[in-house]
Amino acid sequence: MVEFVTPSNNTVRSRWLRSPELGTGSEICIFVTYAPDSVVPDHSHFHARAWADAGFRAVLVMNTDKFDKEARAEGLEFASGVLIRENRGYDFGAWATALQRLPAIKSASLVALANDSMFGPLDSFGQMLAKVRATDADVIGTTESVEFGRHFQSFLLFFKRRALVSNMFWRFWGKVRAGGRIIAIYRYEHGIFERSVEAGLRCVALFPSSDRRNPTLTRWRSLIEEGFPYVKVGLLRDNPFGADLSDWQDVLRKHGYDPAIAARHLS
């Protein structure tokens, strides 16, 4: 087996623009966005703010190509914390950096790890969060994939108290390295699910897989009707499987999301 050789995530520079205060029992969302010039894109701003509006303490991680450039917090008042980080290691690297700098997360009641690869949330966001809060699972995914073994797609993962205090959780995130996309998928997206199952944690997907294909790219419309509150950015940008997107703006508008936000990002 080929061993991936990648730099340690601990060597990636990061700094707090605003350090958060996280109370015991809080619901926390660590939201990662790519901000090349240290400016948060509109669709990420809308998405991250929705977490704060839903009662979560939103910690915004800005992966930037210009780490030494001055960043400003104007317009980010909704965020409990803002972390500036060098753009290395994909989302798992950014989540790992934030978690290692936030040991108080061990006392949270619910932690969401989210990224900017989705447009939304749509009007079923509150309904989805209610399902998350009601389930007795320890690790909760939104959609799942069975390609190369069952796992949760990592654009949004939830961890409840039993997972957050487990040795497995902190051991896993402490070993995350600043690798590329293939490492993120095979070592970490698959790995967090496999390690959670091995640790005896109950893992549940809110929208189970119906076939081997990526549901966010092939059955986006039916997912929304089932209560999934997102449309994948890559679907509207690349549409790799030729899905019917003729009315995507109407669908987003119908479900409470301004399609102009998505159109601006795609352009």
Which pLDDT tens digit goes with each residue over 204-260?
999 987 777 788 999 999 999 999 999 999 999 999 999 999 999 999 999 999 999
Helices (H), the chain: 42-53, 90-100, 125-134, 161-164, 167-174, 181-183, 190-198, 215-218, 220-225, 233-238, 248-254, 259-266
Q: How far apart are CA 117 and CA 155, in angstroms?
A: 7
Architecture of domain 9-211: Alpha-Beta Complex (3.90)
- Residue-level pLDDT at 187: 72
Confidence band for 2, pLDDT divided at 50, 70 and 90 = very low
Residue 252 neighbours by CB under 8 Å, 6+ apart = 119, 122, 231, 258, 259, 262
pLDDT at 3 over 50: no
pLDDT tens readout for residues 42-86: 999 999 999 999 999 999 999 999 898 888 778 999 999 999 999
Q: For strand 139-145 and strand 203-207, is the pairing parallel, antiparallel, or unpaired?
A: parallel
Higher pLDDT, 87 or 190: 87
Strand bridging mode 231-232 / 118-119: antiparallel
Determine the pLDDT at residue 5: 39
Are the C-beta atoms of residues 20 and 57 closer than 8 Å to each other? yes
pLDDT band at 1 (very low <50, low <70, confident <90, very high): very low
Q: Reduced to 3 states, what is the DSSP secondary structure of residue 166?
A: coil
Check pLDDT > 50 for residue 196: yes
Q: What's the predicted TM-score (pTM) here?
A: 0.93
Q: Is it the case that residue 185 has pLDDT exceeding 70?
A: no
d(CA 40, CA 74): 11
pLDDT in tens, 124-143: 999 999 999 999 999 999 99
